[in-house]
Amino acid sequence: MADPLAKPASASPRLLIVGGAGFVGASLAQRFAGDGWDVTAFDNLRRRGGELNLPVLRDNGISFVHGDIRSPGDLADLEGAFDLMIEASAEPSVHAGMAGKGLRYLLDTNLVGALNCLEFARKRCGGMIFLSTSRVYSVSALRGIPLREEDTRLVPCESGQCPGMSAAGIATTFPTVGAGARSFYGATKLAAELFIEEYAAAFNFPALINRCGVIAGEGQFGRTDQGVFTLWVARHAFGGQLRYTGFGGQGKQVRDLLHPDDLFELLRLQHGALSDHAGEVFNVGGGPEGSVSLLEYTRLCVEATGNCIDIASDPETAAVDIPYYVTDNSLVRRTFGWQPRIPPARIAGRIARWLTANADALRPLF
């Protein structure tokens, strides 16, 4: 009798991406499919815009399964074994649950769902790459970084830097516990990380963790609470209101941006070395070269779209907002010989071209 969990006979390695209809998941699915992988995208389609990715997945030969990681049975219904799982599912908003609304869904998805994925992967996958977040770091510790104000951005002071912080950015040694809260979103992702480390140690399961900063690019249906850098281009392209929020309302907060092309190249390298790095944690982002303030990014949006719009100002700072986060990629560069190559100007330009090419479908979403 045939083994129902056996990997189907195929010359191509099999990849399961949970959260596979979301921006990051769908972007990676297309790139891995183009690299010769047999890809299955698994998603509950809760986030608006994910349904627009289904024809794109189909056109790229990617199998789609409508299911929910909160339900172990949905995962169990998947056919066969997989060479790799990429865990890209999440309630991605750092503001989720902060006023109580949506907290249960956040907990069930980002923690319980991640545990369901981990247990499935232990039994049915050759390894796992878990996409975590820079939001695992303490908000108060990040706000405690000494900064000085320049014309277009906030810049770390050379003196008084915190442990885990250097001119290269934030390293994995920056405080995650014992230095204050981080948000419900960050806490659930950090808790999932801890279980992945336990699975790697107890079962010798080849899983590693990437703490990603801001991932931005074409294909993202951005909102003010998540995906703001895509939303910023869209409002310049289609019109609409924008405002600089928090820290004086000047738009000088700084983030580093990572394009899915660069993330894909890293994951390809990591897959080939999973067994050597089980349970390890890496910070992954655009780094100092890929950093930009929202004020600076506004100029890039004007250049990419040819449109200039008025931007309002709201100086009030939300409890989970941070003024500066730039990824220290030193460890992941040394370990895998990788570096990001697509800077913010090119990211904005690619988003603008995507918006223009799909204006009729995308305008209502933005």
pLDDT tens digit sequence for 208-237: 999 999 999 999 987 766 789 999 999 999
In order, the DSSP letters of 282-305 are: EEES-TGGGEEEHHHHHHHHHHHH
- Which range (42-51, 70-79, 123-132, 262-271) has the least confidence? 42-51
What CA–CA distance (Å, rounded) separates 17 from 125? Answer: 11
Q: Which residue(s) pair with 331 in the sheet?
A: none
Nearest one of 108, 138, 55, 345 to 229, comparing CA atoms: 345
Determine the pLDDT at residue 172.
Answer: 97
CA separation for the pair 40, 66 (Å, rounded): 11
Residue 177 or 48, more confident: 177
| pLDDT exceeds cutoff 90 at 200 | yes
Mean pLDDT of the chain: 93
Tell me the C-alpha distance between 84 and 39, whole Å. Answer: 10
Q: What percent of the chain lies above the pLDDT cut of 70?
A: 96
Do β-strands 254-258 and 291-293 pair in parallel, antiparallel, or remain unpaired? antiparallel
For the cut 60, the answer to whether the pLDDT of residue 42 exceeds it is yes
Which contiguous run of DSSP H or E holds residue 28? Answer: helix 23-34
CB atoms within 10 A of CB 276: 11
The predicted structure's pLDDT at residue 1? 43
Residue 154: pLDDT over 60: yes
Q: What is the spatial distance between Cα 225 and Cα 257, in angstroms, rounded to a whole number? A: 16
Assess whether pLDDT exceeds 80 at residue 177.
yes
Who wins on pLDDT, 341 or 98?
341
Amino acid identity for residue 365 in this structure:
L
pLDDT of 301 higher than 50: yes
Query: Which of the four pLDDT bands, split at 50, 70 and 90, describes residue 162?
Result: confident
Confidence of residue 10 (pLDDT cuts 50, 70, 90): low
Contact present, 238 and 366 (Cβ < 8 Å) = yes
pLDDT level of residue 3 (50, 70, 90 thresholds):
low
Helix (H, G, I), strand (E, B) or coil at 42: strand
- Kindly tell me the sign of the dihedral angle through the C-alpha atoms of 335, 338, 344, 347: negative
Does residue 282 register a pLDDT over 90?
yes
Q: In terms of pLDDT, which residue wins out, 338 or 224?
A: 338
Query: pLDDT digits over 63-119, tens only?
Result: 999 999 999 999 999 999 999 999 999 887 887 878 778 899 999 999 999 999 999
Which 8-state DSSP code applies to residue 8?
A: P
Other beta carbons within 10 angstroms of residue 160's beta carbon come to 10
The number of CA neighbours under 13 Å toward the Cβ of 172 is 16
Half-sphere exposure (Cβ direction) of 296: Cα atoms closer than 13 Å: 18
For the chain, percent of residues with pLDDT exceeding 90: 85
Give the per-residue pLDDT at 2: 46
Mean pLDDT of 224-251: 92
Check pLDDT > 60 for residue 8.
Answer: no
Say if pTM beats, i.e. exceeds, 0.85.
yes
Q: What is the DSSP track for 63-84?
A: EEEE--TT-HHHHHTS-S-BSE
Check if CATH label 3.30.230.10 holds for domain 14-365.
Answer: no
**Amino acid 48: pLDDT:** 72
Helices (H), 171-287: 184-203, 228-238, 260-271
The answer to whether 64 touches 21, Cβ cutoff 8 Å, is yes
Ordered DSSP codes for 141-193: HHHTS-EEE-SSSEEE-SSSPPTTEETTEE-TTS-SSSS----HHHHHHHHHH
